[in-house]
């Protein structure tokens, strides 16, 4: 093969690109149906965006570990400043917003924070001497790194993104080797505090939101509507689905957000359990690749960053799918490669790009890359 194809092209991670292409194309097909069999307004743009961001990811894959190490903290600081900017503009303009309009592009800084926090935390544990990993000094800088962005994102308010950011950072900290008891204890503490907080800390309307998630049929026209309709879409699809372009829940507008957060339900209605299993299998291959990249990486930063970025994408998938299947409350998190939406796709492709860079340059103990 190498004889016929130029080296730079032959060296591209074709397997990964093919996987991404297949998944995004399936997203294209689903969005085409969601628009009632039309390229506009979603499917065409979805594919164009994907190709643009794929190109970006391939460019990223040429950059070596040192580059990512170097920009880890500066990027983090820039994104925090952008988050601050969003708040200021919101305060001045009256009314909260999540967007930052840079004239030629509208950026959602909270999305950018997802990979940024991974890089920053990975860089921090990379810098931390191995002996200090079980000391207080390994913990407070993590909390400090989280404090600013989380406070700013919560102000927007965007609980879903906050949770993803915290979970991503925690995963990196866990992999970095923080004492296990902290995580076990933390999980136990949440298990104890959550019910207490539910009964004593939440207002009645907030409690209702949680009970609605637990039993959406009680409020089929109110807050439970999304979950109910999503389950109806998935459930009515059965094993083989209603067939391409034959979904009624999505085409007759019963399923809200059928092209964004609830795209999986749109897909499942027409492609059934088979489609769902295929999508899950695609993600399985992706995360196997992602964790494989982390395992193969030779340097601490690469390991932590790769695992963290892979897990960040995993959180998108897990929270989104749990939500559409009625296992989690409705939080606005899209499904990678299938949902229509530029910001989240950019975030995911940034993660993919850095993963591909680490895959290409697994690093050497000596610190030289080839």
Partner 1 sequence: MSITGGKTISGAVQALTFSRRATIIGGLQASIGVLLAGRMAYISVAENERYQLLSESNRVNLTLVPPRRGWLIDRNGKPIANNKTDFRVDLIPDRMRDKDKTVATLAQLLSLDEEEIDRINKELEQATSFQPVQVATGLDWESFAAVSVRLPDLPGVSPRQGFSRFYPTGAAVGHLVGYVGIASAEDYKENPDPILVTPGYKIGKDGIEKTFEDRLQGKPGAKRVEVTARGKIVRELDSRPDIPGKAMQMTLDIDLQEYAARRLGPESGSVVVMDCETGDILAMTSMPSFDPNSFSDGIGQTEYGMLRDDDHVPLRDKSLKGLFPPGSTIKPMVGLAFLEAGLSPDEAVNCNGGLRVGNRRFRCWNRRGHGRVDMAKGIYQSCDVYFYHFAQKIGMNPIALMANRLGLGQEFPLPVTNQFYGTVPDPQWKMKKFDKSWQAFDTVNATIGQGYMLANPLQLAVMSARIATGKKLMPHLLLGGKRKPVETLNIEPEHMAYIHEAMSQVVNGGGTARRARLPLDDVKLAGKTGTAQVVNLDFGRGGKDVAWKFRDHGLFVCFAPVDNPRYAAAVVIEHGGGSGSAYPVARDVMTFLYDREKAMSVLTDLEKSWGGTINERMDKKMTAYRAKIAIEKAIAEGRITPEGAVATGDTANPEMGQ
* Interface residue list for partner 1 (CB under 8 A): 127, 129-131, 133, 171, 174-177, 229, 231-239, 248-249, 252-254, 268-269, 272-273, 276-277, 280, 283-284, 287-288, 291, 294-295, 300, 303-304, 307, 311, 314, 318, 321-322, 325-327, 367
CA dist., res. 319 & res. 307, Å (int): 18
Query: Please, what is the minimum distance in Å from the beta carbon of residue 284 to partner 1?
Result: 6
CA dihedral 198, 201, 202, 204 (to 10 degrees): 100
Query: Please, what is the minimum distance in Å from the beta carbon of residue 362 to partner 1?
Result: 13
Sheet strands (E) in the chain: 100-101, 106-107
Query: Please, what is the minimum distance in Å from the beta carbon of residue 269 to partner 1?
Result: 8
241-to-23, 234, 235, 274, 345 alpha-carbon distances in Å: 18, 9, 9, 8, 27
- Residue written as token pair 């993660």: 351
Q: Which is nearer to partner 1, 157 or 179 (CB)?
A: 179
Query: Please, what is the minimum distance in Å from the beta carbon of residue 151 to partner 1?
Result: 27
Are 335 and 321 a contacting pair, CB within 8 Å?
yes
Q: Which is nearer to partner 1, 26 or 314 (CB)?
A: 314
Q: Which is nearer to partner 1, 47 or 333 (CB)?
A: 333
Query: Please, what is the minimum distance in Å from the beta carbon of residue 103 to partner 1?
Result: 37
Q: Which is nearer to partner 1, 233 or 355 (CB)?
A: 233
Q: Which is nearer to partner 1, 85 or 177 (CB)?
A: 177
Query: Please, what is the minimum distance in Å from the beta carbon of residue 280 to partner 1?
Result: 5
CA dist., res. 202 & res. 7, Å (int): 60
Q: Which is nearer to partner 1, 335 or 356 (CB)?
A: 335
For 242-260, letters b (16+ CB in 10 Å) and e give beeeebebbbeebbebbbb
CA dist., res. 186 & res. 194, Å (int): 12
């Amino acid at each position: 093969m190498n004889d016929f194809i130029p080296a730079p092209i032959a060296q591209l991670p074709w397997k990964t690109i093919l996987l991404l292409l297949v998944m995004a194309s399936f997203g294209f097909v689903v969005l085409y149906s969601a628009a009632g069999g039309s390229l506009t307004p979603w499917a065409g743009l979805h594919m164009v965006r994907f190709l643009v961001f794929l190109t970006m990811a391939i460019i990223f894959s040429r950059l070596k570990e040192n580059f990512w190490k170097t920009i880890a903290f500066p990027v983090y600081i820039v994104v925090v400043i952008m988050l601050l900017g969003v708040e200021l503009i919101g305060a001045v303009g009256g009314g909260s917003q999540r967007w930052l309009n840079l004239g030629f592009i509208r950026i959602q800084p909270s999305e950018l924070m997802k990979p940024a926090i991974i890089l920053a935390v990975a860089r921090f544990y990379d810098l931390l001497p191995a002996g200090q990993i079980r000391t207080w000094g390994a913990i407070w800088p993590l909390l400090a790194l989280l404090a600013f962005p989380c406070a700013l994102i919560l102000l927007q308010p965007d609980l879903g993104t906050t949770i993803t950011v915290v979970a991503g950072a925690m995963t990196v900290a866990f992999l970095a080797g923080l004492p296990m008891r902290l995580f076990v204890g933390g999980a136990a503490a949440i298990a104890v505090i959550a019910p207490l907080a539910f009964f004593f800390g939440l207002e009645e309307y907030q409690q209702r939101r949680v009970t609605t998630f637990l039993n959406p049929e009680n409020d089929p026209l109110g807050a439970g509507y999304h979950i109910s309709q999503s389950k109806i879409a998935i459930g009515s699809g059965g094993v083989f689905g209603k067939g391409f372009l034959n979904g009624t829940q999505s085409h007759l507008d019963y399923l809200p957000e059928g092209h964004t957060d609830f795209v999986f339900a749109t897909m499942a209605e027409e492609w059934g359990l088979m489609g769902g299993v295929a999508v899950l299998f695609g993600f399985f291959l992706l995360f196997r690749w992602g964790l494989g990249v982390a395992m193969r990486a030779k340097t601490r930063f690469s390991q932590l960053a790769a695992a963290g970025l892979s897990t960040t994408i995993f959180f998108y998938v897990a929270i989104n799918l749990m939500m559409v299947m009625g296992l989690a409350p409705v939080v606005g998190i899209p499904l990678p490669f299938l949902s229509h939406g530029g910001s989240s796709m950019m975030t995911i492709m940034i993660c993919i790009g850095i993963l591909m860079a680490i895959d290409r340059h697994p690093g050497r103990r000596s610190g030289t890359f080839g």
